[in-house]
Chains A and B, each alone.
Chain A
Amino acid sequence: MKKLIQIELIKILNYIPFRILLGLYVLAIILGLVIYPLVDKQVPMISLTDLFRFPDVWPFLTWVTEPYNILLALIVIMITTNEFSNHTFKNQIIFGLSRKELISQKLLLILMLALLATLLLTATSVLLGISYSYKLTFRIALENSWMVASYFLSSLAYMSFGLLFALLIKNTALTILGFIGFRTFIEPVLFLVFREREIRWFFPMRANTRLTPLPNLIEIFQRKLDSDQPVDEASLEILPRGLPLWTNILLVAAYIATVVFLAYKIMDRKRLT
């Protein structure tokens, strides 16, 4: 495993598009820290800083940064399709890697990027939470912090789907087009087509975005305005629509497992010449 990580690191750390995309990802999260408070001053009555307080900072930041995962998926797509266009998968086979190891390499990359993204998000959330919370206790700070695990799963799912698209299409431009097209056009259209049916909640991208849903903003602001009232536990319901939370988590985990299985199968049968 160490060997595969070392090989992958040599490849990606010297790959300029990787540095650019990862830089953009980090920049997007850091810029958020500067931009949200600036936006906040423009909105009367309601303060966005309320969303930066524990425990609301967790669902808010995971929801805001969830689309950034597309950047991570693009990294995986570019790195994988490049292996096809440069014929370097073939080269690695010749020199002694197995087809299984080729996929394991990419899965380890996905795992590393997901961990990095989750750590960055956790650090940002903690920083904002500490800066904006009136009252700071461990219990409040850790409440809803499990959303970070949800975000981690969401990152894994995005990148796994990216890998699957890359293995199937092989061409960089077409894969990016296919992935983004599926995420922003095909699935949303299907979602509308099936709007009367429960099946729509089982769509992969939809299930994935539901892992980090929009926080219940009304509840949060209401809670602030009427702060003497005890917090209604039901108001913290983070998944007001769609599948129950744990079903959704299991569904996305099942999607990831299926994608990993398919990735191994595809690589096993792929002609690498």
Chain B
Amino acid sequence: MSTILKIHQLSKSYRTIKAINKLDIAIQSGQSYGLLGPNGSGKTTTLSIITGILRQDSGSFLWFDKTPYAGQRKKIGSLIESPHFYPYLSLEKNLRIICRIKNSGCDDIERVLTETKLIHRKNSKFRTLSLGMKQRLGIAAALLGDPEVLVLDEPTNGLDPEGIAEVRETVMEQVKKGKTLILASHILSEVEKICDHVAILKNGELIAKGPVRELLTDEEVVEISCSDNERLFDILKKGEIVKEISRENSIMIATLHKGRTIGEINRHAFENDLVIEHLVSRRRSLESQFLELVK
């Protein structure tokens, strides 16, 4: 698997505000990589730098193992923040401009407009489109020339549920086709549904990264109840299996230490003459982990 994007110690400040600080990320070919973080965490700044809109203060990044240059971006389809086009031009003419920039054939326009379900509005002026349509046109522009990589920044921003579903469907289709995706979002469920890897940012700092599945199962959370909940609570709290334990109505929620298994709880309870009545592994939601990380 080749490295598509390698970000090394990337930093950017806006006067006194540090937008990103020594960011290190490597994205491999075929990955769908989510940049997750609350507003102001540095996602858009990161994408703006790697797409050439902004210049970093320090650090570097390589696209396709090469120092970045303008022509390289023709292999990358991007939508940063909201889509920007000439309001007085038709969809077809706006996309024609991008075809010329990318040196790609204009036959592609029909294809991307069909894929984004905008073909019926081909001759409409950009200013007459609804927000959802504008967003889809942004994705259509990103798809022009069949790029190897898609860089999308909050692609469902401001859309209604139907629009969100449509955009998400389009993006997922591209992921299925094997394109590398870099998706910035503050919507956890979006990243969870679309991405296989995630980097979590907070105040410009990278606070966690890895495969979504690994991040989710890094710490196992279990639901427990037994014949004597109070005693088990004390035993587990004193022991070395459980990192954290809390009560939630008639059950207890325990977070296991790294490397500990659910079976060890069962054995430990049995050794203390307690019969476990309920022992269920609860996958820790990305949301709770995300909120905890950015707290």
Contact = CB atoms under 8 A, between A and B. Distances in A.
B98 interface: yes
Nearest to A4: B100
Contact of A6 (B51, B100, B102, B141): B100
Given A3-B100, A273-B48, A96 B88 contact: no
A10 B102 CA distance: 15
A90 interface: yes
Contacts of B97: 7, 10-11, 92
Given A3-B103, A7-B97, A11-B97, A95 B53 contact: no
A273 B54 contact: yes
A94 B73 contact: yes
A96 B53 contact: no
Contacts of B141: 91, 95
A31 interface: no
B101 A7 contact: yes
Given A10-B97, A11-B89, A273-B54, A96 B102 contact: yes
Nearest to B151: A94
Chain A, interface SS category = helix
Interface string A154-178: 0000000000000000000000000
Contact of B88 (A14, A87, A93, A101): A14
A101 B69 CA distance: 13
A86 B53 contact: no
B101 A95 contact: yes
Name the interface size band of chain A. Answer: 20 to 34
A272 interface: yes
A93 B71 CA distance: 10
A267 B54 CA distance: 12
Contact of B84 (A6, A15, A86, A271): A86
Given A7-B97, A10-B93, A93 B87 contact: no
Interface in B47-94: 48, 51-54, 69-74, 78, 80-81, 84-89, 93
B74 A95 contact: yes
A222 interface: no
Contact of B85 (A7, A86, A272): A86
Contacts of B86: 11, 14, 82, 86, 88
Interface string A200-232: 000000000000000000000000000000000
B101 A96 contact: yes
A98 B71 CA distance: 8
B202 interface: no
Q: Which 6 A-B pairs have the closest CB atoms?
A: A98-B70, A87-B84, A96-B74, A96-B73, A94-B78, A95-B101
Given A16-B88, A88-B86, A101-B70, 4 more contacts: A3-B101, A7-B101, A91-B84, A92-B97
Interface of A: 3, 6-7, 10-11, 14-16, 82, 86-88, 90-98, 101, 271-273
13 contacts: A10-B89, A14-B89, A86-B85, A87-B84, A92-B101, A94-B53, A94-B78, A95-B98, A96-B70, A96-B102, A271-B54, A273-B48, A273-B81
